[in-house]
Amino acid sequence: MNNIPLFTRKFLLGSALLLAACAANAASELSSASTCPRVLQHTVARLQDEKPQNLCQYAGQVVVVVNTASFCGFTPQYKGLEALYAKYKDQGLVVLGFPSNDFSQEPDSNAKIADFCENTFGVKFPMFVKTTVRGNDALPLFKQLSEQTGTSPKWNFYKYVIGRDGKSVKSFSSMTGPQDKSFVQEVEKQLAVKGMAQ
């Protein structure tokens, strides 16, 4: 080693430190991915500012995923979803709303949708940009949910309840409102599972 010029030794030492840092970073990312359920390993733009959001931030929580629309007979369900979120968020529930025009009842822009949700129903749960929720062009999250449950959204306000581990997923039709007994029971059942850190 003493025969190696000082410059070369410094270069080798710097390279070794850089490789070690890269390896540590890769290990950290791998560890993060392993604690995030596959169904949440997606990045989606937030409705309010269109900034990308990694859904892994909701790992360990009970997640309700719902496709929404502003001009639908089921649109008042926003109120019930917000009430559900307010009641159970401190226990680990999050509601994620995905506006969609798949059923021709969400023609507005993201800015108008955000304004409508906030000013008409006081929605505070996370909302994401308008997207496709069924078919070949569906958001990957909805493709996975459809695969896991064997059913894709049939109309607006179709709901999926994802357990804390990301493996337990149950679907509910638009006809099942956020205050419906069977829906609330499923949410409470999943909240009672403490298998994953919150």
Is residue 197 assigned to a domain?
Answer: no
Q: What confidence tens digit (pLDDT) does each residue in 78-94 have?
A: 999 999 999 999 999 99
Is residue 114 assigned to a domain?
Answer: yes
pLDDT at 9: 55
Rounded (10°) CA dihedral 65, 86, 106, 52: -60
Q: What confidence tens digit (pLDDT) does each residue in 116-147 have?
A: 999 999 999 999 999 999 999 999 999 999 99
Choose the catalytic residue: 36, 56, 72, 117: 72
**Which residue range forms the structural domain that includes residue 166?**
38-191
Q: In the beta sheet, which residues pair with residue 162?
A: 63, 169
Q: Is 2 in the same domain as 78?
A: no
Mean pLDDT, the chain, rounded, equals: 87
Give how many domains the chain has, as a whole number. Answer: 2
pLDDT at 108: 87
Q: Which residues contact 6 (CB under 8 A, 6 or more apart)?
A: none
Q: Is 102 in the same domain as 16?
A: no
> Is the confidence at residue 20, as pLDDT, over 80?
no
Q: Which residues contact 25 (CB under 8 A, 6 or more apart)?
A: none
Q: What confidence tens digit (pLDDT) does each residue in 95-108 have?
A: 999 999 999 999 88
pLDDT at 29: 43
Mean of the pLDDT values across residues 59-69? 97
Active-site residue 56, yes or no? no
pLDDT at 148: 95
Cα–Cα distance, 76 to 61 (Å, whole number):
25
Is residue 123 assigned to a domain?
Answer: yes
pLDDT at 27: 41
